[in-house]
A and B are shown apart, each in its own frame.
Chain A
Amino acid sequence: MTLKLRELSMLDDGFNPGHGLCAGCSESVIVRQVLTALENPPVVALATGCLEVSSTRFPDTAWKVPLIHSAFENAATSASGVEAAFKALVRKGRMADRPITFVVFGGDGATYDIGFQWLSGALERGHKFMYVCLNNEGYMNTGIQRSGATMLGAWTTTTPAGSVTPGKPQWRKDMTGIIAAHGIPYVAQAAVHHWKDLMTKVRKAEAADGPAFINVLAPCDRGWRYEPEDTMAISRLAVETALWPLYEVENGKYKLNGPRHKSLPIVDYLESQGRFRHLLRNGDPAVVEEIQGIVDLEWNRLREKCGLEPELSKNEAEAVTSAD
């Protein structure tokens, strides 16, 4: 089935209106893109987080597909158990075999931090499931605390911008790369504004012969401090600055799916969100430069993995030009 927007918009995705996610939240958009893209009926496992508390408040549920949540850190293991149960029930002749896709949604806290071991174990064991990280770069559900996915310099309630430290002092973890190192058949990075890329990746993840992982940048207007209507624009900026490149690792082979060139400096991204305002307002060029430097470095490392030549940063390009 090809991805045609007109047709997709008519499908019942299984995630209903009436949930309590914030205006401007990207998570419901991502969830609906994922569910719509699936070819098979899903069983969904959730980690504790914004999506879970906003969509499963008893006696209501926003979900019209079977769903399980049990704790914060173990959604991948829930899926392990469901998948194993299905295999055994079929093997014992207690249930007919049929196509089912086991999908996990977990935030970056559940993925990068508290649930890392559970996810890693499930991937290593090779359960056939798809893990979608709704990466809003922090513990937004508990009130915008920093996580291992939070950007260097970002304000959060546990890394406030103070007179000594300018927001989060560390760079984020390269979770997509870490998952790729597990050697699972399909790993990808995606962004909410690029629906076709995201949904194509969901299809590939579903078809993969083993575990699959998609890390989706999930802009959070409350936590990132921008206006709700800007979610898609912010997501686009993250990709165009090469802060969040769209790529996939299919059976070990890296491929860039998004723009092949970095078209905007990181400062454009930083300026778009209140969480970085202190870096710009207080004139902390060192942190901004450090961020740009890491983005450039990671971008070229990724390009190399994709078999592309390194791309010079603006400063490097100017240096080359003046030398000519």
Chain B
Amino acid sequence: MVDTRERAGIGVAGEPAASTAIAMNGGEAVAYALRQIEPEVVAAYPITPQTLIIEKFAEYCADGVVRTEYINVESEHAALSACVGASAAGARAVTATAGPGLALMFEMLGVTSGMRLPIVMHLCTRALSAPLNILGDHSDAMAMRETGWVMISGSNPQEAYDLAIVAQIVAEHPDVMLPCATMIDGFMVTHAVERVDVLPDDVVREYVGEYEPEMSLLVPGSEATYGALDFRDYYFEHRRQQEAALYAAQSVVEDALQRFGEISGRDHHILEPYMMDDAEVALVMMGSAEGQVHAAVNAARAAGLKAGALRIRLFRPFPVAAVAEALSGVRVVGVMDRAIGLGSADNPLLADVKAALWSRSDRPLARGFVYGLGGRVVTQGQMNQAFDELRSALETGEVGTDPTYLGLREVQDETVLGEGTTA
């Protein structure tokens, strides 16, 4: 086993490689990265909005551009199951899915992390049914958040590409050996065509190296048993080891992002603060709404509010201390959830942020916002409204208990749900 630094062969030369700019959508960007990584096995089942990834990758396979075994499975559960077999066999295994597909995988999400298999998944975040909705929100990712995967969130096609590469070495790091998911917003990232700076193939291959597992089913003479039964005498310890490995992933992600910065010149961190140095109010968010949030920060600043924003890139393990540190000095924090934690004390991201702040004696007021469910258009106006609320909380010292639903029409209005359907 080698350290990521050695495996990437970087930190020696130190000069970023020359990138090529290509206009492509987020799905194609992931597929482009996969072509460069050339995993031994890709197993996937088509689901909107992930199809852009697997269709493009299928073309690479059909043209012999990659030597990957591409398994067109009959369901998402099988997609991850096949990856489990392939990964235990010593192969690099990758899948991609979205929304209901992730829900169908659910059993295998925990199996994958519990078996400590470094499978990479590209999650094109999508609303969960019912009602059926193919568009982007974070309901699926939030349902996955306690299944033991490292989860890294991107906000645009460039990050879809970058994180697809970074995820590979995070998962396989000997201190981690856990599956890693990248989260890119369905349609808003997967289908958005933007400039993507891609690295030369050899630079990517040097960065990811080859997966060299300590053991595998296919090592000649192997007597390994994978997926053994644990009872009350071992399960607890194995679960604890798994948890420790997941927390250890934070520094591995930090390190991998730094090394990636060295080869690409792109400076990614586990958190992305914006105008936070003197911020008194801040919005914490994740995913593709970053542009609207930053525009609203600028507008609020122009109106005299010391506003800032903090984007979460590393969602699992949740970087508790780093989030608390990033928010130090903030007096009112707003947390943007693109999912509802049905029946929970708080929506998912708000709950994490509050927990991160709890140990601080000078903890700020915290207010929840829900936005963009089921692909509801996210606007700067919504974010302006959020900052207006944070400003009034700053002035009054009151934040209330219920979240604000940005962009939601009042359900009492018959025109929203149709005649005869109002409560």
Contacts and interface: CB of A to CB of B under 8 A. Distances in A.
A82 B88 contact: yes
Given A80-B82, A89-B40, A121 B73 contact: yes
Interface residues on A, range: 35 or more
B218 A125 contact: no
Contact of B227 (A56, A92, A125): A56
Contacts, number: 168
Given A67-B224, A70-B115, A85-B93, A121 B75 contact: yes
Contacts of A59: 228, 234
Interface in A39-67: 43, 45-46, 52-53, 56-59, 61, 63-67
Contacts of B67: 88, 91-92
A85 B108 contact: no
Contacts of B73: 77, 80, 121, 125
Contacts of A45: 85
A118 B78 contact: yes
Given A78-B81, A81-B89, A92-B40, A57 B228 contact: yes
B388 interface: no
A94 B222 CA distance: 16
B358 interface: no
B107 interface: yes
Interface residues of B, number: 46
A82 B228 CA distance: 17
B101 to A, nearest CB: 15
Contacts of B82: 77-78, 80-81, 84
A77 B74 CA distance: 10
Contact of A56 (B86, B87, B91, B228): B228
A95 interface: yes
A111 interface: no
A74 B77 contact: yes
A98 B75 CA distance: 30
A277 interface: no
Nearest to B68: A88
Interface in B38-92: 38, 40-41, 43, 67-69, 71-75, 77-78, 81-91
Given A53-B229, A66-B222, A88-B40, A71 B81 contact: yes
**Interchain residue pairs A-B with the least CB separation, the first 3:** A81-B85, A121-B74, A85-B91
Interface of A: 43, 45-46, 52-53, 56-59, 61, 63-71, 73-74, 77-82, 84-89, 91-92, 94-95, 98, 100, 117-118, 120-121, 124-125
21 contacts: A57-B231, A59-B234, A66-B224, A67-B225, A68-B85, A70-B227, A71-B108, A78-B81, A79-B85, A80-B43, A81-B81, A81-B82, A81-B89, A82-B88, A84-B71, A85-B89, A88-B41, A88-B67, A88-B68, A120-B74, A121-B78
Given A77-B81, A84-B82, A87-B69, 11 more contacts: A43-B89, A58-B231, A70-B226, A71-B81, A74-B81, A78-B82, A78-B85, A78-B88, A85-B86, A86-B89, A98-B220
